[in-house]
Amino acid sequence: MSQFFQVHPVNPQPRLIKQAAQIVHDGGIVAVPTDSCYALVCHLDDKAAVERLRRIRGIDEKHHLTLLCRDLSEIGVYARVDNRQFRLLKAATPGPFTFILEATKCVPRRLSHPSRKTIGLRVPEDAIVHALLEELQQPLLGTTLIMPGETDALNDADTICERLGKQIELIIDGGACSLEPTTVIDLSGTGAELVRQGRGDAAMFGL
């Protein structure tokens, strides 16, 4: 059964964040609230955890997973960002946006899109996720918590416990999230392309 942590949404308890980080280090999958909806996250470098995460979500290697980063400088380690892209990222982070960008060699090849060599990245505006990222000192690999065959994301920790309590290692209850996932913007081409409309306002990109 999953462990279940009730974490303060504004002032996360350091003891619980340290325990959550250890679970990630040990190969666990964690359901964590974000500034959009809940996400499933795991360690960037744990191949078995990543494969298990994909199975739970019912997605293949062509579905972009997302690196949850602490800030823009960390995005720059894992994605190629030119001046145009940087200005757009700076205006929209932190916030409920996921950006598709060309991956650098710091991203394991098995995580980037097999034909396009791109990766999803975001800087969430959520105290719990930020505390976990700071404890880990590296990005988390994540995906929106939408179950196979469904269109709506899960946004309640108790429901997640009922649905996934035997499949993941930890559920962090930080209160109810938005039902809307992130807005996904593809910046890997010459312009900005709207991939998915979610909580973020795509109008700031002229879309």
Spell out the per-residue pLDDT of the chain, length 207, in tens. Answer: 899 999 999 999 999 999 999 999 999 999 999 998 899 999 999 999 999 999 999 998 878 889 999 999 999 999 999 999 999 999 999 999 999 999 999 888 778 777 788 999 999 999 999 999 999 999 999 999 999 999 888 888 999 999 999 999 999 999 878 888 899 999 998 889 999 999 999 998 888
pLDDT at 60 (0 to 100): 85
Closest CA relative to residue 146, chosen from 96, 180, 97, 106 = 180
Q: And the tokens for 185?
A: 């913007």
pTM of the model: 0.93
Strands 170-173 and 30-32: parallel
Which pLDDT value is given to residue 197?
A: 93
Sign of CA dihedral 147, 149, 151, 156: negative
Burial zone of 133 (CB within 10 Å; 0-12 exposed, 13-18 middle, 19+ buried): buried
Which of 89, 90, 78, 95 has the alpha carbon at shortest distance from 34?
Answer: 95
Question: Can you read off the two tokens belonging to residue 14?
Answer: 């350091």
